[in-house]
Structure 1
Amino acid sequence: MKFIIFKFGLLALFLSFLECEDDLQDPSGIETRVYGRMYDSQNEIPIVGQQLKISEYNRIPGSFYGNTEFIQHLDSTLTNSEGYFDFTFTTSGLGDLYILTYQLNDQFNTMGQDATIEIEDLGEPYEIDFDFTHLYPVNLKITLDSNVQFLPVRINPQFPLYYPSSNNLTQTGVEYTRTIYTNKNSSQNIWFYRTKNDGQGQRTVINLPATNTTDLTELNIYINNDDFVDF
């Protein structure tokens, strides 16, 4: 009997916890100012015209894994000519979680900074600065020697982080043009991968020197079959 009572007690406690969680929505009308700057300190230039957005979510009651329900986008802004942003969002009363996000294209390195930031102290000014690095385009002129086997050859540059399979090299003796992005102030490796018939992966690496220019540059690459090694 005591065990049954104990079980019902736990169930009542759990249901009470869920009910309390369901009442955690923040009051409507709370105004919170968000401001700061997006800047490229390495090149000493502002990051202009980039969007920042505040979104409202509701934590799902009883979720032990941080599940949330999207409510709406509350406000957004663009960085100005000096990279500064300053805007105010207002709670709707429907949510209890507020996330700041930014949207960048492949021409920036985020330097590992979070793309989603939770705004916790509602009603208090929230200042945040971002230090990103501009990336500049490089056209790779790539030719596979006729002796290269085990196609396709996959390209894995440092930037962009996602390089689609549509850029794979599928023929020998053909000059391909592929665009990547680079930090003009430093060198980077470009990896080329293939898989042998027995499943063994192979790769070769080409080093792209620092370009030291914001202009479009080109790099000619010629790859032989013997350039690939097991990994």
Structure 2
Amino acid sequence: MRKICFILLAGIFLSCDGDPIEEGVETTIEGTIYDKQNEIPFENLKLKVAEYKVHRSGIYTNREFIQWIDSTYTDQYGEFYLKFKTSGRGDYYKFVVETKPNIWDYHQSVFEIPYIGKSLSLDLDLLHFYPVNLVIEVKDIEHLPVSLNLRHYQDLEDITTGSGTVERLIYADKNSDTEVAFGRKIAPNQYERYTVIIPATNTSELTNYNLTINNSDFKPTE
């Protein structure tokens, strides 16, 4: 009987959630978001704080999103100052950079705020991407659709026509070559791939890059 009671009490203990942080606790975060490679700040970039409630059950932890609790924008120098107060409903907070397709964030845009009720400093190095319009001549392509994939994920529409000209707008680091991988499915668990290297544009202006893909360009993936 004692063993059963102990197990029940242990289960209740492990399933208990912590109390929310009391309402009105003030935290400040300040810093600079800069593109060191291109030596320019990130202006008018939205920054926000997410509030969560942590739920624990045994060895499992679940973070329930409560709300976006506050936000701000970077100024012309990439500097920001964000002051927020706890609502009394949460006990876990994240600092989020609202990025766009033309921004690469080495840090995945999300940071845990380790201390609530204190002043924190956070400086970030991000990278500007610039537009490149791919003008793609498609020649007798089979096994459609063909997907386009970049190392830095971008949501690009598949190519669904076997012949003709299609255009896709991508964003790339102007100082480095960009790899674009075209992929298609031949059969269940059988795929082919064709990779094109787009040379560095060395400009922040929109540029066009013409390329041709043929059916024979695709090779089996390893």
TM-score under structure 2 length normalisation:
0.91
**1:141 maps to 2:141:** no
Tell me the alpha carbon deviations over residues 107-134 of structure 1, each in whole angstroms, 9 at most, x when there is no partner: 01112x0422221222211111111100
The change in CA–CA distance for 1:13 and 1:204 in structure 2 (over 3 A counts) is: closer
Q: Distance in 2 between matches of 1:197 and 1:121?
A: 52
Q: What is the count of residue pairs matched by the alignment? A: 221
The change in CA–CA distance for 1:36 and 1:225 in structure 2 (over 3 A counts) is: same
CA RMSD of aligned residues (A): 1.9
Q: Distance in 2 between matches of 1:18 and 1:144?
A: 58
User: SS where residue 60 of structure 2 aligns?
Assistant: coil
Q: Distance in 1 between matches of 2:138 and 2:14?
A: 63
Where does residue 5 of structure 2 map in the other structure?
Answer: 8
Where does residue 195 of structure 1 map in the other structure?
Answer: 185
Q: Indicate the larger mover: 8-17 or 37-46.
A: 8-17
User: SS where residue 26 of structure 1 aligns?
Assistant: coil
Structure 2, unaligned runs of 5 or more: none
- Contact 1:143–1:172 at 8 Å: present in 2 too? no
Q: Which amino acid aligns with 2:207?
A: T
For the pair shown, which has the larger CA radius of gyration, 1 or 2?
Answer: 1
Tell me the alpha carbon deviations over residues 45-93 of structure 1, each in whole angstroms, 9 at most, x when there is no partner: 0011111111221112436322022222221101111111102111122
The change in CA–CA distance for 1:63 and 1:18 in structure 2 (over 3 A counts) is: closer
User: SS where residue 196 of structure 1 aligns?
Assistant: strand
By how many angstroms is 1:176 displaced? 0.6
**Where do 1:167-178 residues align within 5 Å?**
167-178=157-168
**Where do 1:96-107 residues align within 5 Å?**
96-107=91-102
Q: Distance in 1 between matches of 2:139 and 2:23?
A: 66
Where does residue 148 of structure 2 map in the other structure?
Answer: 155
Q: Distance in 1 between matches of 2:46 and 2:59?
A: 32
**1:128 maps to 2:122:** yes
- Contact 2:96–2:110 at 8 Å: present in 1 too? yes
Q: Indicate the larger mover: 38-47 or 188-197.
A: 188-197
Structure 1, unaligned runs of 5 or more: none
Q: Indicate the larger mover: 132-141 or 169-178.
A: 169-178
By how many angstroms is 1:11 displaced? 1.7
**1:79 maps to 2:71:** no
The change in CA–CA distance for 1:137 and 1:32 in structure 2 (over 3 A counts) is: same
Q: 2:51 aligns with which of 56, 61, 69?
A: 56
Q: Distance in 2 between matches of 1:198 and 1:100?
A: 42
Q: 1:186 aligns with which of 167, 176, 187?
A: 176
By how many angstroms is 1:17 displaced? 5.2
Where does residue 25 of structure 1 map in the other structure?
Answer: 20
Q: Distance in 2 between matches of 1:61 and 1:54?
A: 22
User: SS where residue 60 of structure 1 aligns?
Assistant: strand
Q: Indicate the larger mover: 30-39 or 9-18.
A: 9-18
